[in-house]
Amino acid sequence: MLKLLFFWLSLLLTLHLDRPLAEASNVTDIFILAGQSNMAGRGGVEHGRWNGVVPSQSAPSPSILRLSAGMRWQPAAEPLHVDIDVARNKTCGVGPGMAFANAVLPGLMRCNEAAAVVGLVPCAVGGTRIRQWRRGKRLYGRMVRRARAAARGGGRRRIRGVLWYQGESDTVRREDAEGYKGNLERLVVDLRSDLGIPALPFLLVAVASGEGKFVEQVRKAQLTIDLPNVQCVDAKGLGLKADHLHLTTTSEVQLGQELARAFLAHFAHRPSLHQLMQ
C-alpha cells in the first residue's frame, strides 16, 4: 500500500513538473528583457566569474518570476540570463531586470488595484549587433516565441513592455552606427506587429559605452527615435567597470530603478492589453 502511495505521489509530481507553467502560473504583468550584455548583466563578474553578491534592490520576491530557457515560469533571481546568454566565454551577473521588477511592482499593484505578479522574459545575448535582431533572424525569432509563450494563459496576464539595452557592438563600424536608428525603428514596428500589440511600450536605454569609436552616433540615434510609446532612459554617467564597457552592479541597480520610474510615469496607468491595442 505504501509503495502504491509513493508511486501515485511520484506520478503526480512528474505531471506537475511537466505542465506548461507559462500557462499555469499567476503572472499578471510581463516584461521582455532584450539587447546585449548590459541587459543580460555583467555586474559582479570579474575574470569570468560572478561574485554572487546580490544587492537588496535585486533580491528575489514571491511576486517576481522569470521564464526559463525551457519556457517554464520559475522564481526569478540573479543572474536572470544564466540559461539564455550561454556562450562559452560569457558569464552572467547582476543586470537591471530584478531591480526594475522590485521597483515597478508596488506601482503596478496600486494601478491595478489588485495583487500583481511580474513575469520577466530574459532574451538578451551579449556581443550582438542590432542586425542580428532583425525579423527572420534567430534572436528575433526566439524573442517572439518566448514572448508568446509567456503571454499564454489569459485572465489578467498581458505583455506590458519591452526593456531594450543594446548598441555597444554597433559602435565599431560607421555603417552600423549610421544605420542604427532605422534598424531600431524597424525592430519596434516588427515586434509590435508580430505580437499583435500595436502600442506596446518600449523602454530604450541610450548606451553609456561602446566597443568602437562611434558611440555618439549610436546614442544620437537612440535619443532621437521618433515613435509613439517609446521612452529613452540615458545610461550615460552611470559607473562602468574596469573594462570601460559594462555597468557595475550599483549602476545596473540604478538603471533598473530608472527604467521602473519611466514605465510608471508613462505607461502604468494603462490597465489592460485591450487599451494598449487601441
Place of cell 525569432: 141
Q: What is the dihedral of CA 12, 15, 158, 97, to 10 degrees?
A: 90
Strands (E), 36-112: 45-46, 49-50, 64-67, 73-75
Place of cell 526593456: 163
pTM for the full model? 0.89
Helix, strand and coil content of the chain, in percent to the nearest 5, comes to: 40, 15, 40
| Catalytic residue set | 37, 243, 246
Peptide bond into 79 cis (omega under 30): yes
pLDDT in tens, the chain (278 residues): 433 333 233 333 333 433 344 554 699 999 999 999 999 999 999 999 999 999 999 999 999 999 999 999 999 999 999 999 998 789 999 999 999 999 999 999 988 778 899 999 999 999 999 999 999 999 999 999 999 999 998 788 999 999 999 999 999 999 999 999 999 999 999 999 999 999 999 999 999 999 999 999 999 999 999 999 999 999 999 999 999 999 999 999 999 999 999 999 999 875 443 333 33
